[in-house]
């Protein structure tokens, strides 16, 4: 029995993605409680809320939220780390499976992924280089946009050591704080455009993830069909 922890940023949105992610927890009986950290949408109910004043920069805001949770007395020792745009699209009877994207440096620097002006690319690369320096070897990439099972004490320790002047890709901390094994490479759950949806559904993983365009398009329609009924976590 494990908690789901959502890191939620931004106060200028209704966070409908979170609504459908919470509805999708019906497919995961291992998850028995929910924490929402950062911005708490007004419609959210029945969760442990840890509200925080948002940081202006996205990656600093995520780090603040993750650090606050990791150092909260009485918070669960193990938890699944969720983004609000992660959806469990198929029933999972036991512990949630873990996924990666292969070698992290090879992935983020590949010509199909790397973009010089993309802040996420730079955050993943910076975090990867730091983790590789500690490990003395390559590390796996945990940016497949899927939930990740974390050890809270290990997470607090690695966050305390990560340089404060470097951007942080929080999912990459699974390398040191992960509690669900290495996982497997089965693709990336992120649905970027409508034409991606069929291929993403066909991947051998029970997860999907959205961006704004796909949530407003075919993936959003798919999710509304999968989860038409309110969950216990919404008004």
Residue 233: what pLDDT?
98
pLDDT digits (tens, 9 = 90+) for 88-145: 999 999 999 999 999 999 999 999 999 999 999 999 999 999 999 999 999 999 999 9
Confidence of residue 40 (pLDDT cuts 50, 70, 90): very high
Confidence of residue 56 (pLDDT cuts 50, 70, 90): confident
pLDDT digits (tens, 9 = 90+) for 139-190: 999 999 999 999 999 999 999 999 999 999 999 999 999 999 999 999 999 9
Residue spans per domain, the chain:
2-226
Residue 235: what pLDDT?
87
Residue 80: what pLDDT?
98
Cβ atoms within 10 Å of 232's Cβ, excluding its own: 12
Alpha-carbon dihedral angle through residues 109, 111, 112, 118, given to the nearest 10 degrees: 60
Closest by CA position to 101, among listed 17, 172, 16: 172
pTM greater than 0.85 (yes/no): yes
Any idea which residue has 């409680």 for tokens? 33
Rg, the chain, Cα only: 17
> Per-residue pLDDT for 11 more than 80?
no
- With a pLDDT cut of 90, the percent of the chain lying above it is 94
> Per-residue pLDDT for 12 more than 90?
no
Q: How many CA atoms lie within 13 A of 101 on its CB side?
A: 22
Q: Is 97 helix (H, G, I), strand (E, B) or coil?
A: coil
> Per-residue pLDDT for 13 more than 90?
no
Out of 8-12, 37-41, 111-115, 127-131, pick the least confident. Answer: 8-12
Q: How far apart are CA 16 and CA 1, in angstroms?
A: 26
The domain 2-226 having CATH identifier 1.10.238: the answer here is no
């Amino acid at each position: 029995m494990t908690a789901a922890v959502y890191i939620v940023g931004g106060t200028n949105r209704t966070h409908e993605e979170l609504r459908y992610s919470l509805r999708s927890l019906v497919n995961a009986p291992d998850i028995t409680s929910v924490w929402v950290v950062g911005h708490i949408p007004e419609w959210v109910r029945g969760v442990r809320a840890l509200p925080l004043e948002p940081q202006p920069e996205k990656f600093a805001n995520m780090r603040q939220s993750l650090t606050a949770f990791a150092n909260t007395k009485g918070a669960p020792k193990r938890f699944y780390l969720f983004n609000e745009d992660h959806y469990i699209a198929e029933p999972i009877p036991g512990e949630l499976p873990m996924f990666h994207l292969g070698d992290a440096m090879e992935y983020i620097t590949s010509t199909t992924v790397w973009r010089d002006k993309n802040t996420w690319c730079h955050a993943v690369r910076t975090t990867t280089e730091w983790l590789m320096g500690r490990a003395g070897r390559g590390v796996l990439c945990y940016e497949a946009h899927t939930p990740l099972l974390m050890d809270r004490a290990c997470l607090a320790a690695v966050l305390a050591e990560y340089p404060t002047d470097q951007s942080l890709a929080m999912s990459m901390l699974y390398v040191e704080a992960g509690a669900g094994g290495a996982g497997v490479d089965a693709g990336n759950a992120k649905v970027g455009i409508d034409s991606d949806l069929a291929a993403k559904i066909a991947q051998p993983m029970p997860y999907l993830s959205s961006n704004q365009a796909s949530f407003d398009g075919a993936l959003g329609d798919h999710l509304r069909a999968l989860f038409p009924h309110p969950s216990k976590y919404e008004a």
